[in-house]
Each structure stands twice: as C-alpha cells, then as structure tokens.
Amino acid sequence: MEKQKLSVKNSITDYIEWLAQYGASADGGVTRLLYTKEWMDAQLAVKTEMSSFGLETRFDDVGNVFGRLSGTQSPDEVIVTGSHIDTVINGGKYDGAYGVLAAMLAIKQLKETYGAPKKTLEAVSLCEEEGSRFPMTYWGSGNMTGVFSVQDAGEPRDESGVSLQSAMYENGFGKGVFQSAYRTDISAFVELHIEQGKTLEMSGRDLGIVTSIAGQRRYLVTLEGECNHAGTTSMKWRKDPLATSSRIIHELLLRSEEQPDELRLTCGKITAEPNVANVIPGRVQFSIDIRHQHQHVLEQFHEDMAALINGICHQKGIRAMIDEYMRIEPVPMDERLKAAAFETAAENGISCEEMVSGAGHDAQMIGRCYPACMLFVPSRGGISHSPKEYTSARQLEIGVRALTDLLYKLAY
Amino acid sequence: MEKQKLSVKNSITDYIEWLAQYGASADGGVTRLLYTKEWMDAQLAVKTEMSSFGLETRFDDVGNVFGRLSGTQSPDEVIVTGSHIDTVINGGKYDGAYGVLAAMLAIKQLKETYGAPKKTLEAVSLCEEEGSRFPMTYWGSGNMTGVFSVQDAGEPRDESGVSLQSAMYENGFGKGVFQSAYRTDISAFVELHIEQGKTLEMSGRDLGIVTSIAGQRRYLVTLEGECNHAGTTSMKWRKDPLATSSRIIHELLLRSEEQPDELRLTCGKITAEPNVANVIPGRVQFSIDIRHQHQHVLEQFHEDMAALINGICHQKGIRAMIDEYMRIEPVPMDERLKAAAFETAAENGISCEEMVSGAGHDAQMIGRCYPACMLFVPSRGGISHSPKEYTSARQLEIGVRALTDLLYKLAY
C-alpha cells in the first residue's frame, strides 16, 4: 500500500515537500525519471491539484500537464509558465519542481484575487528536461515547439534497453489519445527556477533575471602518441599524449581568461591508456565544455582552440582528433519580458540582478520560438542535482511573488 | 600431451625460440609467471640443458637454477652470470630469457675451448624479477642477497588470492629441501639484457655498458577541489583539481628539462572523479615517476616538486596529498667490471657506449651487495614487455661474444 501523501499544504515549501514524496530517496533526494511509476504518480498528483485550484487540466500526447485559466479578451494569446517534473537520479527537491509548483500557486492566487485574466494563463508541468533516463533532453518543450515529435521516440533507449516509445506507450501517451504537444499559440513563456550556481548567494540578492541562456559546445579531444617504458625512453624521443594534454588544458584555461565577459571552460573528463604509473600513455582523451552568451565569442574560441591544439600536437609529434559532439546556440531572453520582470521586482522592492544562465533550461528550447524569460532564486552553496539542493522558504516565497506579479502584468 | 619442444639448437636465436615455447601465447608473446606450470617446465628445461652442457646444476630453495663450472684455483670466488626466467603477462621472448641463455652458452663455450676456469663460473636462471604475479619484485635476486627470505612469502597474494608461500610450496620450494638461496660467495655478477629503450638503435652501436641503474621514485598525487556544475559555476569560484593537475604536470615537465644529465619524468596514470564532461571534477589523482642516476638530483627534484605542487594548490584552494609509494636508490655498476667490459669490446671491435639503465634489473639488487655490471644489446624500436620485442640474430650473437670474453677475462 502506498503511504499517505501530505495533504495540508499552505506554502510553496509545503508543496515542495509534498511533491518530493513522489520518488523520494532514502537520503532526502528525489528520483523521478520520465515515464516511470514515480513520474506518472507525480504528474497525476499535479494534475489533480491543478484541478482543485479550479484550472482546466489536460495531458498532451507526450505527457506534459497543463492547468489553464482562460482569458476573457484574448483567450488565444496564451502565457505559459512552469518547468519540468522529472529529475536526475537522486536529484534535489527544487530543480524543475519549484517552477511547476510556483506556476500553479501563482495562477491560483491571481484567480482568487482578480478572477479571470484578459489573456489566457497556463501552468505547465513539462514531462522531461534532464535527459537522465533516455539519451535526449527537452522532450517536453521540444515537442511543444516542434523540434521533436512522437515519431522521434523509436530510437532512444534507456539503460535496460526500453525504447522511449514503449515507455511512452505504457503510460498511454504517443498514441493520439491526447492532443498533440505541438503549440502555435504561446505569446510568452516564463520559467522560475533555482539558480544552481552561487552568483545570487555571493551578491546577497534575491532574484536573478536571466538575460540569456549561454550557448554550449562540447568536444572530445583524442591525442595519440607512443606508448613506451617510463624508465628506458629518453625524454627527447617521447610522444607523450598526457604531457601534451596537460599543456593544452593549461594553455586553454589561460586563453579563456582573456575572453570578454566570462567564458566558462571545463575539462571534466580525462582518461589515459593504459593508465599505468610506469608506462608513458599511448592515448589520452579529454572533454572540453565551453559556454558563453555570445555566439561570436564561442565561434572565435572554437577557432583558436583548434589552432592551439593542432599547433602543440604538431610540434610534439602527437596525432590530435577534435570531435565536437554538442553545439547549442545561445538563446537571448525576450527584451519586453525582461523589462517587465525588472519593473515587477522594483515595484515589490525585491533585490535583483541580471545574469546569464550557464545551465540549459526549457526556456532555452521555447525561447527559440516564442518570447521567453527566466527568473532565478538563490541556491545554497550553488549546489544542485543533489539531495543537498536547498533554497530557504523566504527566498522561495519571493520568487513566487515575483512570478505572480509578472504574470499579472502580462495577462490582466 | 605436451607438444614436442624444439630439440636441435645451434645458435642463441635457436635457444631463444626454444625457451619461448614454454608459456607461448597465440600472438608470439610469452607468459611465464612465477611458480606456474609454464614457469616450472621452463626452469626444469633450463636445468636439464645446463646439465647437458656438463655443468653441475641445482635449484636453490626459492627455485633459482644454477649451472656451475668450478674453478681450479679459487673455487670459492664465484662469478655469476644470468638473468630471470619469468615474464610479464604476454611479454616478449628476450627480456630475461636472453641473459639466462647467453650465460649458459657462454660458459659452455668457455668450457669447451679452455676447460676449467681458475675462478668458479655459474650461470643462473633467476626465478622472478618482473612482479607480474605477486605484488613484489626481485624475488630471486632478493633472496640471494638476503633482502628477502622465504619467511617473507606469507603476505603477498596473486589476483586469485593464492599466497606466494603456497605457490612456492606447490613447486617443492621454501621447505628447506634445497639449499638456502642466500649467498656470500659472489665475487662478480654480470647480466646481459636487451636494452628495452632505443638509445643503441638511434646511435647504431651494438653494445651498451651500463654505468649505473637509475634510482626511481614513484608518487601518487591526490588533489581535492570542489565538484560543481560546469555551466553555473563562475570561473572565479572554481576549485578545479583537473585544471590544477594540468598546470602542475606541465610545469613539472618544464622543470625536469632543467635538470643535469636527463631526469626522466612520467605521469602515466590519471583519474578524475566523477569524470563527466559537464561536471567540474571534485578529485583528481595522478602518478609521477622520476628516474635519475644521481641520488642528489632525485632528492633535490623531490623537494622542488613538493614545493611546486603545494604552492600551486595553496593558491588555487585545492587540497594536495603527495604519497611517495616507491623509492629505489640508484645503483652504480662496479668500476673494475665496467673497465673490463670496455676492454673486451675494444679487443673484439664491438661498437659500444656507456649508458644509464632507466629500468630496474636483477643487477640492481645484486649490485648493492656485490660488484655487478650489465651489458645491453639493442631492442628494435625500444619495444619491450610486448610480443613485438625483437633483437636481430647478429646483435644477439655480439652480446654473447662480449659476455663470453668478459667472463674469460674475469675467470681464467
């Protein structure tokens, strides 16, 4: 028998704790992977809760849940707000969930205070953003924007070999029973999210207004040299790909410091073969992840990086292969929405600042097609994707207030 | 039934091919791990062959095999020559084996040509040098010099959990049936070996006369920083142990170039955690292997290295731990033996050069207690510990000639 879920919920914090029971892990984390039982239970619970708020609720054909409050003057201009319901494995309670719950609560409060809006408001609980079960991300917002469709579900498989399609079918989605996820009626998308960094914590401000979601490029660099005996091989004849990798990573980081604004460069992964203390490696692979809000900065760095790697490797007799396996262009947030968000914060005396989001979000996918904006609240220690994820009740409330007032400004 | 082993053997090359049949792998390599059947069969075959040459043969209590030609004037002054019979997993035909077989053939030829020597000559097939089955090395020469004794065999275990002691017992050794391995009567030890590097190949010379066996120090360096999101963590707040490792390895290599003679520095092993492209690692470990023929150079570099690592880590907020897990002091070869080796080469018109051995050898263990010297023949491409190990018949013969004449000079 399922344990009784929390039923009395007054604050955003109560709602966070309530939703965190679906897929709760022993150490206070949450695991809700797309189309699993925990995920479906949570999505159904969200839908029921939205209904209890007096919103018209529905699933779409990939399992996104909407709670709609129709507009009286321009019902076809829809202002959508929300985030995603899925999590990484043993993630935190706030990532995604906060934006979904804050959206529901904001619309509930607007409805109770002001009645029906002029334009339609919709809270959305997007089915998937993290890419933690299947090797793809943004399944919910990607289907809404037409980047993906249910026809794309045949290929991707989870670790046990289950296809996205069969997992989707098992939950009743993807068969046309529900309305297609594809939308053409969105006039604005607003996503409230935890920062997942510590910019706000360090500045002491309560709200981040995102100007742009950084573009990302990811590379796997493979260097092939000559595997040899550490004792008998003279330094002058070595073709040592780990020595060369170290120099490249060091020089790329120095180069990144010279970039305008902040280019973030991370080498997170490195492997050497055979990886034995007394053997000069024959082959080393390392990853490079670069992020920046300006396309031209990423482009120029890409060029410089390739020249630097090839130059050093040529000099050292090392064969270099650079595989760019991910490229996501920067997405600027909508100017009008950003301005409205700043006004709202000012009217409410909320301390805020502009910031770039280094992480990807649904607003990035939707922002390519529709006006979008994002609001951030602080994350303690910048920690995310961990049971240690935490934002205080006060900071969560400030975020909900900013969202509520922004939606009022846009829809009433 | 065991396949028929080659029986007609005329040249050193024939003997190399003959012995390589014991533990032969499909791709032309050899695997003879200490106290395995392949090892025991090979050791017995060597003993039988030595007997057929008219040498007095015996095992000692750890399984070293000796073939003795007693001296007529000073029988208690023993000149021992040989190397080891064991191999790495899928190693080559030459490493160790060449020195054993050349020793037998050299003494055989001296006996046939000149009869009994003044001093005693012994060919030895040492039981173990590589450390490829049990986590220890130099079991044969270590027992001869008293660095180890059979009492040390209880601890070390192979990958299947078999102790060195029980493997030794299974073969009949270690129980006092044979004479103790410990020797006090060695007046010289001469080891002929393949170079395992490409110094001779590059210089075009046929013989290397080793001046010193380099000292080695091995370290495992652990850097602990802060695991964080690659997108949301500002460059200025990062504690990135992979960025820091890269800088350290790069700077250490630059520093190594400034050392006198040649300090060999190798980082062969590196691991990052969690080792994911879009996560700043929390922890990185890498190995450092340094080798040099002079103790004071190693000592000074050790100091400089620790200062450099601690300095950079302090600056970057990284916690550094440096674990020195191996220290072997340099062992100079005996001046008188070296001089005799040079004379021999000159008399025979063999092109030769002085060199430092970067790899460890039995002569290093024995050279700490007794006068020792080593002769090297070229290794094609410097390749060793591989089925691709190769030295031409001509080069093998030159080595045997040099050894034979050196033994003549010492014993007759």
Whether residue B198 lies within 8 A of chain A, CB to CB, comes out as yes
Predicted pLDDT at B4: 53
Whether residue A268 lies within 8 A of chain B, CB to CB, comes out as yes
Predicted pLDDT at B7: 62
Return residues 110-149 of A near B (CB < 8 Å). Answer: none
pLDDT in tens, B145-166: 999 999 999 999 999 999 999 9
Interface test with B, best of A94, A196, A246 (most B CBs within 10 A): A246
Q: What string of DSSP letters covers B230-283?
A: TTTS-GGG---HHHHHHHHHHHHHHHHHTSSS--EEE---EEEES--TTEE-SE
Whether residue B268 lies within 8 A of chain A, CB to CB, comes out as yes
Say if residues A407 and A99 touch (Cβ distance below 8 Å): no
Q: Which CATH architecture has domain B12-214+330-411?
A: 3-Layer(aba) Sandwich (3.40)
Whether residue B212 lies within 8 A of chain A, CB to CB, comes out as no
Predicted pLDDT at A16: 97
Predicted pLDDT at A293: 96
Stretch (H or E) spanning A84: strand A74-84
B95 assigned ligand-binding residue: yes
Bridge partners of A144, per DSSP, are none
CA distances for A412 relative to A29, A69, A399, B258, angstroms: 38, 12, 20, 74
Range scoring the smallest mean pLDDT among A69-83, B6-20, B186-200: B6-20
pLDDT in tens, B33-44: 999 999 999 999
Inter-chain contact B233–A279, Cβ cutoff 8 Å? no
Inter-chain contact B266–A230, Cβ cutoff 8 Å? yes
DSSP label at residue B3: P
Q: Which CATH architecture has domain A215-328?
A: 2-Layer Sandwich (3.30)
Would strands B228-229 and A283-292 be described as parallel, antiparallel, or unpaired?
A: unpaired
Say if residues B85 and B32 touch (Cβ distance below 8 Å): yes
Inter-chain contact A246–B262, Cβ cutoff 8 Å? no
pLDDT in tens, A356-370: 999 999 999 999 999
A278 assigned ligand-binding residue: yes
Predicted confidence (pLDDT) at residue B31 exceeds the cutoff of 90: yes
Predicted pLDDT at A5: 60
pLDDT in tens, B161-199: 999 999 999 999 999 999 999 999 999 999 999 999 999
Mean pLDDT along residues B126-132 = 95
B218 assigned ligand-binding residue: yes
Distance between A215 CA and the closest CA of chain B, angstroms: 10
Neighbours of A10 (CB within 10 A): 7
Whether residue B243 lies within 8 A of chain A, CB to CB, comes out as yes
Predicted pLDDT at B5: 60
Return residues 359-388 of A near B (CB < 8 Å). Answer: 359-360, 382, 384-385
Q: How many CB pairs under 8 A join A and B?
A: 195
Interface test with B, best of A266, A316, A318, A361 (most B CBs within 10 A): A266
Mean pLDDT along residues A350-354 = 97
E-strand spans in B52-157?
A: 56-59, 65-69, 74-84, 119-126
A84 assigned ligand-binding residue: yes
Predicted pLDDT at A2: 46
* Rounded Cα distance, A134 and A86, in Å: 12
Predicted confidence (pLDDT) at residue B314 exceeds the cutoff of 70: yes
For chain A, what is the mean pLDDT? Answer: 95
* Rounded Cα distance, A175 and B262, in Å: 71
Interface test with B, best of A90, A212, A229 (most B CBs within 10 A): A229
Predicted pLDDT at A176: 95
Interface test with B, best of A278, A316, A386 (most B CBs within 10 A): A278
Inter-chain contact A360–B231, Cβ cutoff 8 Å? yes
Q: Is A4 left (phi over 0), alpha (psi -120 to 50) or beta?
A: beta
Inter-chain contact B277–A214, Cβ cutoff 8 Å? no
pLDDT in tens, A2-38: 445 656 788 999 999 999 999 999 999 999 999 999 9
Q: Which of A246, A270, A358 sits opposite B272 (nearest CB)?
A: A270
Inter-chain contact A358–B230, Cβ cutoff 8 Å? yes
Predicted pLDDT at B9: 83
Q: ipTM of this predicted complex?
A: 0.87
A291 assigned ligand-binding residue: yes
Predicted pLDDT at A6: 57
Whether residue A83 lies within 8 A of chain B, CB to CB, comes out as no
Where in chain B are the domains? 12-214+330-411, 216-328
Inter-chain contact B382–A358, Cβ cutoff 8 Å? no
A238 assigned ligand-binding residue: no
For chain B, what is the mean pLDDT? Answer: 95
Inter-chain contact B229–A358, Cβ cutoff 8 Å? yes
Predicted pLDDT at A20: 97
Tell me the CATH class for B216-328: alpha beta
